[in-house]
Amino acid sequence: MPRLALIATLLALAALSGCEMLGMESPEKVAAARDAEGRAVGGACRHAGRAIEDCYLLNKRVDKAAIFAGWRDMNDYMRENKIDVVAPQLLAQLALAKAAEAKAAADAKAAAEAKPPEAKASDASDGSADKRAPAKPKARDAKAGGA
């Protein structure tokens, strides 16, 4: 019996030694990963020429201290090596796309408002017929209930 207990204990220890592979991370590893992510975000913000306050607003889930540390490190690095800020070009493209989309929506709305009066009148008559249709079955139901 003690031999069986010893074997079971050894098997359990062998199985638990691989817990790191199962995604069970220690709090220290999680904290280190969050800090590294915050530093990367801060460095990227500084390289893109964003103010630290803007970086905080855009990345609310990331620790502010880590963002600041990364921003400061990148600022020092850029000054030492005389690196210029890289202006983001994706935002300009998104702004142009949104402007085109808004213009298309405005054009569609203007086209709908410029409908001929005859079409509007026929739409109104169709709507009133729809309102009258449910009233007829109700009248039949009332007669059937009285008979």
pLDDT over threshold 60, residue 139: no
- Per-residue pLDDT, 77: 93
SS3 16: helix
Q: Is the model more confident about 131 or about 57?
A: 57
Helix (H, G, I), strand (E, B) or coil at 83: coil
Comparison of pLDDT for 135 and 45, the residue scoring more: 45
Establish if 2 belongs to a structural domain.
Answer: no
Tokens 């592979």 belong to 21
pLDDT band at residue 147, thresholds of 50, 70 and 90?
Answer: very low
Q: Which residue has the higher pLDDT, 134 or 1?
A: 1
The residue ranking higher by pLDDT, 32 or 4, is: 32
Residue 132 within a domain:
no
pTM of the model: 0.48
The reply to whether 39 and 83 lie within a common domain is yes
Question: What number is the average pLDDT over the span 79-101?
Answer: 80
- Between 137 and 31, whose confidence is greater? 31
17 belongs to a structural domain: no
Q: How many domains does the chain fold into?
A: 2
Reduced to 3 states, what is the DSSP secondary structure of residue 55?
helix
Q: Is the pLDDT of residue 129 over 90?
A: no
- pLDDT digits 0-9 by tens, 5-36: 888 888 887 777 766 666 677 889 889 999 99
Q: What is the pLDDT of residues 62-87, one digit of tens each?
A: 999 999 999 999 999 999 999 888 87
> How many CA atoms, within 13 angstroms, populate the side-chain half-sphere of residue 47?
11
Mean pLDDT of 93-100: 77
Do 72 and 41 belong together in one domain?
Answer: yes
Q: Is residue 21 part of a domain?
A: no
User: Measured between alpha carbons, how far is 72 from 31 in angstroms, rounded to an integer?
Assistant: 20
- Residues 112, 73: one domain? no
Q: Which domain holds residue 82?
A: 27-88
